[in-house]
Homo-oligomer: A and B are copies of this chain.
Amino acid sequence: MISKLIGRIQETGAPVVVGLDPTLKLIPEQVQQKAFSEYGETLEGAAEAVFNFNKAIVDAVYDIVPAVKPQLAMYEQFGLPGLSAFVRTVSYCRSKGLIVIGDAKRGDIGSTSAAYAAAHIGRITVGARTYAPFDEDFVTVNPYLGSDGVKPFTDVCASLNKGIFVLVKTSNPSSGELQDRITDGRPVYEWIGEKVAEWGGACMDGSYSNVGAVVGATYPEMGKVLRAVMPHNYILVPGYGAQGGKGSDLVNFFNEDGLGAIVNSSRGIIAAYQKEPYQKFGAEHYAEAARAAALDMIADIRGALENR
């Protein structure tokens, strides 16, 4: 699956993921009102607004980016209708040729992680039939429980050519509380990075592994260290834009071959219309604003890589 993602990155020239993380505050009033007029101010109404919003964003960017990253929490918050909008979003994105990274951050003891892996990137058997319940291409995984909580995911990566990104150094301000603590002479994030390199060895797909890592754009120096620790693992980099990361911060996350990283922006793209310099598009043209913001982000990262 990572070779498929790399292929799409090379075709588009854009190591960029659009984070489909809609809260109602990010969805223009007219989209909400249209959904509410049909379904009322209900969870179904919210879910319909979410899906329609996503669909317009996807229509505006699918030809310029390789992948999207819907954040499960933003759908789960609207209950079953919200998760139904997640399923519709995944399906629509795949129909447009986009690779889908489910940002689920799941992780549990072995037998339970196996159920999560089946739910998101694997298959589940019911009687004589088999289903792919949420059917993402990649999913993010939390490593707090250790190898036996991750292995069911890497097993699916190996058997079904799917992928995961393991949380190593997250983008949020308090990530360092645990992740930066020194153990055996190095920070926890570095030790987890070593484990990612180890776990990924069993799931190579070309020069890179189907097991990648999440490292926040907000910590570029750590990105440099982790790039060296995990030479064959892709890094999914959240935190660009709204969380403060800039293009010049990102070169550390890439290998010399120009590969090895893919950068996510969520609010900075999907809600571009709410902020300068994209406010001129207006709420009516939020999808065009998203496309413009995505193009600027791609140019920013390409420029930084060319000038490295």
Contacts and interface: CB of A to CB of B under 8 A. Distances in A.
Interface of A: 21, 23-24, 32, 36, 41-43, 45-46, 71, 73-74, 76-80, 82-84, 87, 105-113, 115-116, 118-120, 124-129, 131, 133-134, 142-149, 167, 170-179, 181-184, 188, 191-192, 195
Contacts of A118: 77
Contacts of A183: 181-183, 188
A172 B152 CA distance: 13
B77 A129 contact: no
14 contacts: A24-B126, A41-B128, A46-B126, A71-B112, A71-B115, A73-B108, A79-B119, A80-B133, A110-B172, A143-B178, A144-B170, A146-B176, A181-B188, A181-B191
Nearest to A125: B24
Contacts of A76: 115-116, 119-120, 133-134
Copies per complex? 2
A139 B43 CA distance: 21
Given A45-B126, A170-B145, A133 B175 contact: no
Top 8 closest A-B pairs, CB basis?
A41-B127, A79-B133, A146-B174, A146-B177, A109-B172, A73-B115, A77-B115, A148-B174
A263 to B, nearest CB: 16
B41 A175 contact: no
Contact of A79 (B42, B87, B107): B87
Contacts of A80: 80, 83-84, 87, 133
B177 A195 contact: yes
Contacts of A116: 73, 76-77
A188 to B, nearest CB: 7
Nearest to A86: B80
Contact of A143 (B24, B77, B125, B144): B144
